[in-house]
Amino acid sequence: MTDLKKKKTGKRGPDRAKFTDEIEKLLADPNIQKMARFGQHRGNNTLDHVVSVAWVSFDMAEELGWEIDEKSLARGAILHDYYLYDIKQMGISDYEHGVGHPGRALKNARTLFNLSRKEENIILSHMWPLTLFHPPRSKEAILVTLADKYCAGNEMVLHRNRLGKRGREAKKLKQHDETA
């Protein structure tokens, strides 16, 4: 067993229902749906990306047996790229976007939500180590930081804009919301 893996102590892992409920609440918000308008990572859109990051983060917590704050993980993961602009139209370099968009996402998220310090750190630190002075300070922030790298790599290198079962579930949820 690795040091990262929780020893069998009788504690439960993350609560899937609680996490799913929070994701559903966020995705029902028309402001969150605006992320679908902005392209990201070769054909993906920002909304698809953040939903993938959220589910990969949760799946990692589950696999590791980590006790987490499901609400903060969901909110931080969905809001981590809430910068609401088209990178190409802004005329900024990839580096400028990489170091600048976490602050912009946090500023935008604060206009909609009363964020906890943990949620703010998840958003601000997700590009670490590129954003050297904003390291992840919680398990949830570490999960989102790692999941973001994993998802971005899949989207850019493998041209996958949805990741397996979780991506299909997110698409069904999104379609359900559009028809409801």
* Alpha-carbon dihedral angle through residues 120, 126, 130, 134, given to the nearest 10 degrees: 30
pLDDT of residue 43: 66
pLDDT of residue 3: 43
Assess if residue 55 is contained within a domain: yes
What is the tens place of the pLDDT at every residue in 52-78?
A: 999 999 999 999 999 999 999 999 999
Q: Write down the pTM of the prediction.
A: 0.78
- Cβ-Cβ contacts under 8 Å for 167 (sequence gap 6 or more): 48, 51, 52, 55, 160, 161
Domain of residue 28, residue span? 16-179
pLDDT of residue 94: 66
What is the tens place of the pLDDT at every residue in 71-107?
A: 999 999 999 989 876 777 777 766 665 566 888 899 9
Tokens of 92: 């900024």
Assess if residue 5 is contained within a domain: no
Mean per-residue pLDDT for 136-149? 95
CB atoms within 10 A of CB 148: 22
Percent of the chain with pLDDT over 70: 73
Assess if residue 7 is contained within a domain: no
| Confidence class for position 155, pLDDT limits 50, 70, 90 | confident
Assess if residue 8 is contained within a domain: no
| Confidence class for position 165, pLDDT limits 50, 70, 90 | very low
Cβ atoms of 137 and 121 within 8 Å: the answer is yes
What is the tally of structural domains in the chain?
Answer: 1
Amino acid (1-letter code) at residue 13: G
CATH number at residue 72: 1.10.3210
Assess if residue 50 is contained within a domain: yes
Assess if residue 66 is contained within a domain: yes
